Amino acid sequence: MASNHLKWESKQLATWYFTFAAIIFGAQLLFGLVAAIQYVMPGFLFEIVDFSIARILHINALVVWMVFAMIGSVYWLLPDETGIETVGIKIGKLLFWVFAAAIVVVVLVYLLVQVGPADETTIWFITEGREYIEAPRWADIGIVVVVLGFIGNLYATGMKGKPTGIVTVLMADMLAFAGIYLAGMFFTDNITVDQFWWWWVIHLWVEATWEVFVGAIAAYGLIKMIGAHRQVVEMWLWIEVAMLFGSGILGMGHHYFWIGTPEYWWEIGALFSALEPLPLVAMFIHVLYDWGKQQGAAQQRGEEASVITNKPAFTWFVLQAFGNFLGAGVWGFFHTLPQVNLYTHGTQFTSAHGHLAFFGAYATILIGMMYVAIQGSNGIKVLKHTKSSIAAAWMITGGVMGMTVSLTIAGYVDVIVTRAQMGATWAGYFDGHSGMWMTQAMDWRLIMGTVTFLGFLFLIKDFLSTGKNAVHTR
């Protein structure tokens, strides 16, 4: 993706990260489809690519493409924010190739080797077998080195150039984001201790540091795309940081209800996780408020045109504002109180929440950032929607929403039959999962997953073609 319009090397590097992220995004959806087919036809690829392998690839690809797109987003906005070229860009480019190559090796080993003997060599070279962070230990260490290099660049650039509020938040947040990963890099025979620290990684990523990250990206997007005032946006950002970390850090208690940890986590987890939706409401209001404010000011000046300079990106940013609230906030709150969670913990309900939350909070805004990069790479003043960009937004959003509703219905069956009625035994599980409501829900999930995948194809078509489209204002 060489471009004459990019005068900053940092932005060029960002496009590499976005390109790799988009490819891995495709892999995520593809293996998601394999797993969805297996729910409907259990014999599909049995003992070739089993559900466990398809799912590892589905959720690891999810984490990887998001991390790549997050790093890409930071490299993209750094020159705009700090006013200087990113320090250590050569190292940044080298690390990109190291990171990408490592990911390819990890994926091939997942796919071709799959499992290993019950000893340390498997943990080091094949899989750690811990949901989301299955990556073997060698890759863990590699990821830490690469991410530390990225953070070094971020800090050096932030301190040399202008450290805006957005950059300051990102510097603090990215350090926490990387540091937390270390909590997931050890082996213990004690499964309770294992899961206690495992949640430090998973929860403090997706319900704390990643949320703050998207807050910072949304702030950048509002300034760039609708000309929102930096001072207003950054004040909101600091309030969001206070609310997100204030609720999210101790909200971790909602994962400590049933894993062998003491009872006091019931109260702590219930209280703080019940507060977690509040900043998400605030973020949603903030985006719409700033949009209305800027458009209103433009109208007063007698300008009738939209203030938005990148329609597809802004569409995805607004989808993020609402999707984050709905998927993470509402669907999360559904089952966060211990009285409810006793029955919903570890059912399809969790899966419903996971799909809408990851999509709503993160996939949306990162797709938006890819559109921002396409606009910049092609020197476009106002990037407009195309038929493909509209089809992609509708089909991906509609598809994920459809999967979420299907999985929510499946979740109710799981909760009522498997858990409440049958007491969670082997027989109870299969009674729950062979019921008609469950199987129909899984059929719909597959249909809606296919819609999502077709939407992704429109998205890629648009990514590849919209830059040359004549509809845009140059």
Partner 1 sequence: MANKSVWSDNRFWQRSAAWVTGFAAILLIWLTFDTSGQISMGSDADLKNGVTKRVPGPTVINYKITYEMDTKRGHEVPVIGAKEKFFGRDDYSEKEAGDLLHLGKLGSQAKNCMDCHTLLGNGAYYAPDLTKAWLDPAWESTGSMQAMTGKNTKEEAMAEFLQFPSKYPTHARMMPNLGITAAEAKGLVAFLKHMSSIDTNGFPRNFGKIQGALNGK
SS3 at position 473: strand
Question: Which of 414, 441, 451, 472 lies at the binding interface for partner 1 (CB under 8 A)?
Answer: 414
Distance CA 429, CA 447 (A): 24
C-beta closer to partner 1: residue 38 or 73: 38
Q: How far is the CB of 251 from partner 1 (least distance, A)?
A: 9
Q: Which of residues 53-92 bind partner 1 (CB under 8 A)?
A: 53, 55-56
Q: How far is the CB of 140 from partner 1 (least distance, A)?
A: 13
SS3 at position 304: coil
Q: How far is the CB of 22 from partner 1 (least distance, A)?
A: 25
Scanning 276-381, the segments in alpha helix (DSSP H) are: 277-300, 311-323, 331-334, 338-344, 348-357, 364-377
120 binds partner 1 (CB under 8 A): yes
Residue type, 318: V
In DSSP notation, 135-204 reads --HHHHHHHHHHHHHHHHHHHHHHHHS---HHHHHHHHHHHHHHHHHGGGS---S-HHHHHHHHHHHHHH
Are 338 and 270 in contact, with CB atoms under 8 Å apart?
yes
Q: How far is the CB of 257 from partner 1 (least distance, A)?
A: 6
Q: Which stretch binds partner 1 (CB under 8 A): 74-82, 146-154, 219-227, 253-261?
A: 253-261
Question: Which of 196, 317, 358, 362 lies at the binding interface for partner 1 (CB under 8 A)?
Answer: 196
C-beta closer to partner 1: residue 382 or 422: 422
Q: Which of 389, 332, 371, 337 is closest to 355 using CA atoms? A: 332
Distance CA 416, CA 426 (A): 15
Interface mask toward partner 1 for 415-434; x: CB under 8 A: ----xxxxxxxxxxxxx-xx
Are 404 and 352 in contact, with CB atoms under 8 Å apart?
yes
Q: How far is the CB of 208 from partner 1 (least distance, A)?
A: 9
Q: How far is the CB of 473 from partner 1 (least distance, A)?
A: 33
Q: Which of residues 6-25 bind partner 1 (CB under 8 A)?
A: none
438 binds partner 1 (CB under 8 A): no
Question: Which of 242, 288, 297, 305 lies at the binding interface for partner 1 (CB under 8 A)?
Answer: 242
Distance CA 434, CA 417 (A): 10
Q: How many residues bind partner 1 (CB under 8 A)?
A: 91
Q: Which residues contact 265 (CB under 8 A, 6 or more apart)?
A: 253, 254, 256, 257
C-beta closer to partner 1: residue 1 or 242: 242
C-beta closer to partner 1: residue 398 or 428: 428
Q: Which of residues 219-238 bind partner 1 (CB under 8 A)?
A: 231, 234-235, 238
Distance CA 313, CA 317 (A): 6
Own/partner contacts of 39-46, CB < 8 Å, gap of 24 or more, are 39/442, 39/445, 39/446, 40/439, 40/442, 40/443, 40/446
Are 208 and 108 in contact, with CB atoms under 8 Å apart?
no
Q: How far is the CB of 35 from partner 1 (least distance, A)?
A: 8
Residue type, 129: G
Q: Which of residues 320-349 bind partner 1 (CB under 8 A)?
A: 342-343, 345-348
Q: Which of residues 29-58 bind partner 1 (CB under 8 A)?
A: 35, 38-39, 42-43, 46-47, 50-53, 55-56
C-beta closer to partner 1: residue 126 or 287: 126
Residue type, 366: L
Q: How far is the CB of 28 from partner 1 (least distance, A)?
A: 15
Q: How far is the CB of 471 from partner 1 (least distance, A)?
A: 39
Q: How far is the CB of 72 from partner 1 (least distance, A)?
A: 26
Q: How far is the CB of 262 from partner 1 (least distance, A)?
A: 5
Q: Which of residues 123-152 bind partner 1 (CB under 8 A)?
A: 123, 126-131, 134
Side-chain-side CA neighbours of residue 18 (13 Å): 26
Distance CA 325, CA 303 (A): 32
Q: Which of residues 153-192 bind partner 1 (CB under 8 A)?
A: 165, 168, 187-192
Q: Which of residues 262-291 bind partner 1 (CB under 8 A)?
A: 262-266, 268
Interface mask toward partner 1 for 351-390; x: CB under 8 A: x---------------------------------------
Other CB atoms closer than 10 Å to residue 435's CB: what's the count?
A: 17
Question: Which of 171, 201, 216, 241 lies at the binding interface for partner 1 (CB under 8 A)?
Answer: 241
Distance CA 193, CA 185 (A): 13
